[in-house]
Chain A
Amino acid sequence: MIFIYLTSGLFLGWSLGANDAANVFGTAVGAKMVRFKTAAIVASIFVLIGAVIGGAGATHTLGKLGAVNALAGSFIVAFSAAFTVAWMTKLKLPVSTSQAIVGAIIGWNFFSGSVTDYDSLTKIVTTWVLCPVLSAAFAMILFFVFRKVLEKINVHLLSMDFYTRIGLILVGAFGAYSLGANNIANVMGVFVPVVPFEPLNVYGLFTLTSAQILFFIGALAIATGIFTYSYKVMDTVGGGIFRLSPVTALIVVLSESLVLFLFSSEGLEAWLISHGLPSIPLVPVSSSQAVVGAVIGIGLAKGGRGIRFNVLGEIAAGWVTTPIAAGILAFISLFIFQNVFNQQVSKQVEYCLSDEVVTYLEQKQIPVRGLEPLRNEVYTNSVQFLSSIESHSPGSKKFVRKIIEASKITPLFIDPVLISNEVDRRWFTPGQYEAIQKLAGKSFKHTWQLKQALQNLSDEWKYKPENRKFKLYNKNLDKKYENLFSIFHVRNPSTKSK
């Protein structure tokens, strides 16, 4: 069964390759500087390397689909996102795969009665506007800088051609590496805990973990997408919006990478802050939106004539359609899958505002006044729970997510076998690992209880003050907590009690 579920992950990988490879090599192929075949080979190799090596950090997270708590649900969500992206690819439109996934997850939320974090919706809409604007501005600035510099330094037409080509291939290879590293968790992440692969030793040279084998297979799906179907979107990006010359093709990918790096790199932000430098505000960015913005920027820098606004209109419509269509498709497919094929697409999650939860919330100075009627009631639907809280205590709107989060019942059992097999010793500090070991054999009802227990055992599990300096530290700590929750979560409490 797992292999059937895996197919939708592979389909998502294929769609990702078919659509997103254009963000990396579209302009180079459109400007005829790199042959499609060469681009596809380079992109595939670097996607593979990125997924297997660079994606290793992502094995600790399940990717975006981790929000879906049943494998059959992940299958449908991944399938809906993949189908939407494939459909957009057929229409030759560059769209964001992760926005399709978020849209499909929202569809799942509606179906399963889970509360949707509306921040993710605002993020998507911001990305549509802000990302192209930033990227267009970068492209325009780079265009004028390049023009000035190229006027000053006299490079032979053929040498210029050579440097541009090398630049396009290098930036493209780097982009393909990031594409693999950043997206493989979304494609394959949910399957990591369930695949039955054994670690594979490759001729005694190196060993691939089961996650890496899975990522390798996912990357192969991406590569297949690049080879079989990415030409169409490349054509739109590289020539459909505005005809690019080789140098402007390079400027487009450079500005795209710059925008992605400057505005989404937490590493860069942490580095700037640690050196006492002003940091750049992080904004949600997406390579599909960035590349289109950069092409528009070049068109504007060259006077604005020659920009095909009808193509731009289609692309914008595609951006809006993608998450919506993925959401609707996911909702309908989940309905069919559950009722016709009798598959469990979501697991019931219970919420209970028990006494211990109230004590915990009070400790955290989260007001629970007015919520007495809900005390010890068990809810099986977070949307209902949310509306109950809001109707009883309208003042607690600000804290409602925290109340829901704290009331969520997540049975956790710190299984000693799982500690030695699943917990990645290298990722945790010795103090953190020791604390986990001390908890072996214990059970918890809520995730915050495990958090508290760990924090009592080791200072290394404690959050640092909430300011910009420690933002990345705290975020990493959160990732470690999430990792533990997914490892020790008792998915089927009845089997445990046997």
Chain B
Amino acid sequence: MAILFRSTRALESEIDEYLDDVSNGILVFIDGVKNYLSKNVDSFKDNLTTIDKLEGKADELRRTIENNLYTHSLIPEHRGDVLGLLETIDDIIDTAKETLTQFSVEKPYIPESLHQQYNELAETAGKAGEAVVHATRSFFKEVKLVQDHLHKVYFYEKEADKQGDRIKRKVFEMDDLELCQKFHLRYFALHIDTLADMAENVADRLAIYTIKRTI
């Protein structure tokens, strides 16, 4: 019995650690966008390596958690839900890593007049991600707080959509850019915004799972 309790505790801390990694990944992502825009090449490279490591570690943790849930047949009622939840959260850190990699590969030219808006977009999308990580923690520990975090996710996701929209409009109104550059800029606004969309996906699932979580 003691062994079972210890493994339960270990699994709880693994889930916490996993969520920590996702949360750190989001912070690194915001920092990475900032560093790219301010041309801090070394720091940006540093961000890339960090997010790569975090993503790898998160993947590994997720697999261990899923494996443990199944081998010990834990939480039979919520096992499928938790599995789905962990996998969709994984999409957030995956998107963050993917976007930073795209910055590093494609090296988009972003006019200085747009820097602040891109930074703001990254921050808003990041906030949506942060809020959904909080919501997920609450789902495990304090279910009545989930709703409080979820409404923030929806709010930031909408904000990110609006900011992305503003960037695109502004980009296509600029006369000093080639059409291909405009496309490129539009795609990068879209990539950053995807992080908020991923957060929204997780939030949608959580909203349903929370109803099931009450006895």
Which of A's residues lie within 8 Å of B, judged by CB?
31-33, 35, 143, 146-147, 150-151, 154, 156-159, 161-162, 166, 245-248
Q: List 14 A-B contacts (CB under 8 A).
A: A32-B73, A147-B215, A154-B143, A157-B139, A157-B141, A158-B12, A158-B75, A159-B9, A159-B12, A161-B8, A162-B5, A245-B77, A246-B77, A248-B215
Quick one: which of B4, B12, B144 contacts A156, CB cutoff 8 A? B12
The distance in angstroms between the C-alpha atoms of A154 and B143, with both chains bound, is 8
Please tell me if the beta carbons of A31 and B12 are within 8 angstroms of each other in the complex. Answer: no
Q: Given A143-B215, A146-B215, is A158 in contact with B142 using a C-beta cutoff of 8 Å?
A: no
Q: How far, in whole Å, are A431 and B76 apart by their CA atoms in the complex?
A: 60
> How extensive is the interface on chain B, given as a class?
20 to 34
- Among A32, A33, A150, A159, which residue has its beta carbon within 8 angstroms of that of B8? A159
Q: Chain A residues with Cβ under 8 A from B143's Cβ?
A: 154
Q: Does B71 touch A at the CB level, under 8 Å?
A: no
Q: Are A147 and B214 in contact (CB under 8 A)?
A: yes
Of residues A161, A166, A246, which shows the largest number of chain B Cβ atoms within 10 Å of its Cβ?
A161
A161 to B11 Cα, complex, angstroms: 12
| 8 Å CB contact of B75 from A35, A150, A151, A161 | A161
A32-B76 contact, Cβ under 8 Å, with A150-B215, A157-B139, A248-B215: yes
* Residues of B with C-beta under 8 A to A156: 12, 140-141
Q: Which residue of A lies closest to B213 (CB)?
A: A157
Task: For B82, list chain A residues within 8 Å (CB).
Answer: 157
Rounded to whole angstroms, the CA-CA distance of A221 and B144 in the bound complex is 49
Give the residue among B5, B76, B213 with the most A Cβ atoms within 10 A.
B76
CB-CB under 8 A from B4, the residues of chain A are 162
- Residues on B with beta carbons closer than 8 Å to the beta carbon of A159: 8-9, 12
- B8:A246 contact, CB within 8 angstroms: no
Checking B1, B139, B141, B144 against A151 with a beta-carbon cut-off of 8 angstroms, the contacting residue is B144
Residue B78 CB within 8 A of the other chain: yes
CB distance from A485 to the nearest CB of B (A): 48
**Interface pair A158/B11, CB less than 8 Å apart:** yes
Residues from chain B with Cβ under 8 Å of A150 in the complex: 215
A158 engages B215 (CB within 8 Å): no
- Per the bound structure, the CA–CA distance linking A412 and B139 in Å amounts to 73
B contact residues around A151 at 8 Å (CB)? 144
Question: How many whole Å from B15's CB to the nearest CB in chain A?
Answer: 8
**Residues in chain A near residue B140, CB distance under 8 A:** 156-158
B74 within 8 A of A: yes
- A31's partner among B5, B74, B77, B214 (CB-CB below 8 A) is B77
Q: What are the residues of chain B within 8 A of A33 when measuring CB–CB?
A: 76
Nearest-Cβ distance from residue A156 to partner chain B, whole angstroms = 5
- Kindly report which residue of chain A lies nearest to residue B79, judged by CB atoms: A32
B76 touches A246 (CB 8 A): yes
CB contacts under 8 Å to A, within B10-59, are: 11-12, 15
How distant is the Cα of A151 from the Cα of B75 in the complex, in angstroms? Answer: 18
Known: A158-B75, A161-B8; 15 extra A-B contacts, CB below 8 A, are A32-B77, A33-B76, A146-B215, A150-B215, A154-B141, A156-B12, A157-B78, A157-B82, A157-B141, A157-B213, A158-B12, A158-B74, A161-B74, A161-B75, A162-B5
For residue B38, give the distance in angstroms from its CB to the closest CB of chain A: 41
In the A-B complex, the 8 residue pairs with the smallest Cβ-Cβ separation, listed nearest first, are A32-B76, A154-B142, A247-B215, A162-B8, A161-B75, A157-B140, A158-B8, A158-B12
Of the candidates B5, B77, B141, the one having the most CB atoms from chain A within 10 angstroms of its own CB is B77
Give bound CA distance, A247 to B77, whole Å: 10
Interface residues of B in 54-92 (CB under 8 A from A): 73-78, 82
CB nearest to A151 among chain B residues: B144
CB distance from A154 to the nearest CB of B (A): 4
Please give, as numbers and ranges, the residues of chain B lying within 8 Å of A248 by CB-CB distance: 215
**Minimum C-beta distance from A490 to chain B (A):** 55
Flag if A245 contacts B12 (CB, 8 Å). no
Residue of B whose beta carbon sits closest to that of A165 = B4
Shortest distance between the CB of B192 and any CB in chain A (Å)? 32
State in angstroms the CA–CA spacing of A146 and B213 once bound together. 13
Least CB distance from B206 to A in Å reads 13
